[in-house]
Amino acid sequence: MNVLIVDDEPDLCDCLVMLLESKGHHASQANSGIEGLQALDKESYDLIISDIRMPDCDGIEFLEQIKLKMDPIPPFIYMSAFSELTKEDAISQGAIDLVRKPILFSEMIKIIENHNTQS
């Protein structure tokens, strides 16, 4: 699976890339919503994982921009430490899940692998 990770915390992106690659996936990172949109112009992804709070283009706006560009959109997972967004809100906006920070990597892998077997 080809995964795009979008977060303004480069260390977290690096960790998620290493984790996903250790599980046999290919992962790329973008450190802002704008970079994420640029990455989507160059490559297709099977899954997108995005932080909600980012300075230039938050995750909610990022997902809305993706919806304008792509149909269907790739499965999308929100990550957040500070959002009041609930999992139900995330799903109603088009995401498949919401993962709270600090991330439990085992939880993230479980969500990704569960999604991968359903698609």
Identify the pLDDT of residue 115.
78
Annotated domain spans of the chain: 2-112
Rounded CA-CA distance 89/30 in Å is 24
pLDDT category of residue 92 using cuts at 50, 70 and 90? very high
pLDDT category of residue 116 using cuts at 50, 70 and 90? confident
Q: List, in sequence order, every beta strand (DSSP E) within the chain.
A: 2-6, 26-30, 47-51, 76-80, 97-100
Identify the pLDDT of residue 84.
84
Contact between residue 73 and residue 64 where contact means Cβ atoms under 8 Å apart = no
Contact between residue 3 and residue 20 where contact means Cβ atoms under 8 Å apart = yes
Report residue 54 as tokens.
């980012």
The pTM (predicted TM-score) of the whole model is 0.94
Instruction: Tell me the one-letter amino acid at 35.
Output: E
Of 50, 75, 73, which is closest to residue 62 (Cα–Cα)? 50
- What architecture does CATH give domain 2-112? 3-Layer(aba) Sandwich (3.40)
Bridge-partner residues for 80, per DSSP? 100
More confident residue, 116 or 42: 42
Identify the pLDDT of residue 113.
87
Tens-digit pLDDT profile for residues 48-82: 999 999 988 999 999 999 999 999 999 999 999 88
